[in-house]
Structure 1
């Protein structure tokens, strides 16, 4: 009986190799040949699953997105039922910051993906969709805080959510460049969250 091939596992193996190459050597080092060597497979196998570099990059971005979503979901579930909006928003945003080595590697890859997609509208579509989804979640939590009297009524939830994401993106870039320590990034984030939700009780 012929052996069954797990095609998704092979595609994921290749995507993982791409992310290692991008994290260690930069996106300019990513090629079908380099990724094949990193994955320990033939260039022909890579080309069997991904006809172009764009296809390979898109799948790798989707893989990063799925893993990030799973990590954030677990962190939110750890808060218990009906967490306060501020606690939930802080958990989501700190989960996006490169505060440990696995997330730093992931952050370097995400930054490389962002630069790669800047001139490729089709590749950028998935990133725009992910960002829009996160903004919607954050804005919803800000509205919930407003309804509960825990955030200023005059605050525009969509603008506030966009500002929070932009802040986290900027902090993440500077943490990756070692301009700020992770503790500094967290302190700045917490200070900004206080302007949105008010100070946390001590």
Structure 2
């Protein structure tokens, strides 16, 4: 009796291979041939599941976003409704830093797609910049929770959130480039939150990432 093929598993095998090719050499190294070799299957099989290079690149981008989103949702749920705004924002930001192999791979792959979109090579800017906008919205919502109504200078949660989101992206890339260590980047996240939130909620245990 012939073995049944799990098509979703096969597609995932291919998109995982695309990720590894990107991490190893960038988007320019991605071809049907390199992906097939990395996945350990034939070029014809890659073409069977993805008719064009654009198809498997879009599927790879989607798989990275889904993986990161699922992990983020799990972390967010684990925080619980009683988490302070500072703890919630800290958890969100550290999920975006390359503190393990999975997050490192995701940041490299998504960064490759971002630069390709900026250069006009592929993708569209709406898809590329949706995640930072969503991140800033989440942070802004938490900043609003942290601000007393009677604060004389409440600041601007939306602009503060944009600064925090952009700064965290820079910290992530600084770790990848070897400019900053993981602990130094986490320390800068704490410093940034000190500037925006003061000492409210206290610092988060830096070992829980």
- TM-score, length-scaled by structure 1: 0.88
- Is 122-131 or 107-116 further displaced after alignment? 122-131
Give SS of 1:78's match: helix
Name 1:50's counterpart in structure 2: 50
In structure 2, the gaps of 5 or more residues are 204-209
The CA distance in 2 between the partners of 1:130 and 1:193, in whole Å, is 21
Aligned to 1:182: 182
Q: Which is further off, 43-52 or 94-103?
A: 43-52
The answer to which of 61-70 and 119-128 deviates more is: 119-128
* Match of residue 103 from structure 2: 103
Partner of 1:82: 82
* Partner Cα distance (2:163, 2:16) in 1: 31
Cα distance per residue 1:2-28 (max 9 Å; x no partner):
754432222211110000111122222
What stretches of structure 1 of length at least 5 have no aligned partner? none
Please report the RMSD computed on the Cα atoms of aligned residues, expressed in angstroms. 2.2
Q: 1:51 to 1:195 in 2, by over 3 A?
A: same
Residues 99-178 of structure 1 aligned to structure 2 (within 5 Å): 99-118=99-118, 119-120=120-121, 122-147=123-148, 153-178=153-178
| Residue correspondences, number | 201
**Cα deviation, residue 113, structure 1:** 1.8
Residue 52 of structure 1: how far off its partner (Å): 2.4
Moved more, 86-95 or 35-44: 35-44
Secondary structure of the 1:97 match is coil
The TM-score, its normalising length taken from structure 2, stands at 0.86
Equivalent in the alignment of 1:72? 72
Q: Secondary structure at the match of 2:93?
A: helix
